[in-house]
Amino acid sequence: MFESIPQAPADPILGLNEAFKTDPRASKVNLGVGVYKDAQGTTPVLRCVKLAEAKILEQQKTKSYLSIDGLPEYAAAVQALLFGADSDIIAAQRARTAQAPGGTGALRVAADFIFSNLNTKKVWISNPSWANHAQIFQAVGFEVAQYRYYDADAKGLDFDGMKADLAEVEAGDVVILHGCCHNPSGIDPTAEQWAELADIARTQGWLPLFDFAYQGFAVDVEQDATGLRLFADALEELMVASSFSKNFGLYNERTGAFTLLAQTSEAANSAFSQVKKVIRANYSNPPAHGAMVVATILADAELKAMWLDELAEMRARIKTMRLEFVSQLKAAGVAGDFSFIEQQNGMFSFSGLNPDQVAALKEEFAIYIVRSGRINVAGMTEANLPYLVSAIASVL
Ligand code: LMR
């Protein structure tokens, strides 16, 4: 039976990562997958994580199952990060959070929950969006449509196009929004624009699902939640898929969360009982370690302060690399204005490199970039930048 199954195409991001690992060339540079690298080109375990892990190791008494929705202290910590510790939403118990295996796991929980409990079978994603969004929702049976987002000529947000498209979305349809650090463009709406979008959502009655994987990578943890919090003020219902892969560096611990906000605490409870049902039928209950680390850090004032410092360090290094990259491109005489790269948020930059140029960088220089031209700026270092810039100059 299996011999008739055709080969699946490689994943546009993780497939590239696999190809990178087997590339024997010493000069290779990986700017594909969204993983933070420090100045030495390594992806370190954060100091606050190491300390939290030592504490957990010492105090942990059992490896017994967690409940279907995971650790309650983790859920509380996630909600405080999302809505703010003093949020009325938390006081009124209108939000419920399930620990999930990574942001992808959280999105899949969202998709399963919506598909089996609401009438909508249509989800809207930005054009462009993270390559896995369409795949996750299609796997569940959704129709996936796109709303305008990126203006390739202006290298900025096509806000008029975005508004026009979202004003046509039907009541009940799901709209995925990137909480901050839009993946892949690095371009986010301003606070005023978020407020306008929230108005459209309220008028139209569509259901927002925030994909929030980079909280703390744009400005800081609080300001990066501006869009989400404006929506939560304006609407009675929304959902969030959180990931702590990047901001806690917990990539392989698959640490994420699905949060739903309902009109009342009672409505949140019954909707959440259905969330637990879909989780039970999928992975039963979540892996513990990453969530324990996050909950331990956020419950301890010293560890939390250390985390915020380390996050600021990562953010600052990426910003420095953006500035260096632009200045070295200019110094190398590469034609064009690349200053837009300095304005983008988060790990990624939409470079404007076309698929042929991306392919040439891989074939000729062992430089790995996602086919869309998305560059992981966090993969740049002082050491690999000159090589990268001269390679880009030669393919342009
Ligand atoms: C990315 O966009 O590179 C990351 O979110 C990793 C992934 O799973 O694709």
- Ligand 1 atom with minimal separation from the 13 CA: 9
- Residue 44 pLDDT more than 90? yes
- Give me ligand 1 centre to Cα 360, in Å: 22
Let me know if domain 10-44+315-395 sits in CATH 3.40.50.150.
Answer: no
Give the mean model confidence (pLDDT) for residues 197-211. Answer: 98
- Give me the interface pTM, i.e. the ipTM: 0.95
Mean pLDDT across the chain: 96
pLDDT band at 336 (very low <50, low <70, confident <90, very high): confident
- Give me ligand 1 centre to Cα 335, in Å: 30
pLDDT band at 288 (very low <50, low <70, confident <90, very high): very high
Active site residue 130: yes
- pLDDT at position 28 is 95
Of 69, 211, 224, 362, which residue is the catalytic one? 211
| Contact 130 CB / ligand 1 (< 6 Å) | yes
Domain boundaries, the chain: 10-44+315-395, 65-299
| Atom 5 (ligand 1) nearest CA | 34
Sign of CA dihedral 78, 82, 87, 91: negative
Give the mean model confidence (pLDDT) for residues 291-307. Answer: 98
Task: Give the DSSP H or E segment for 212.
Answer: strand 207-212
| Atom 9 (ligand 1) nearest CA | 13
- pLDDT at position 52 is 98
What's the 3-state SS for 160-172? HHHHHHHCCCCCC
- pLDDT at position 335 is 84
Q: How far apart are CA 321 and CA 323, in angstroms?
A: 5
- pLDDT at position 112 is 98
Is 153:203 a contact under the CB 8 Å cutoff? Answer: no
Active site residue 124: no
Let me know if domain 65-299 sits in CATH 3.40.640.10.
Answer: yes
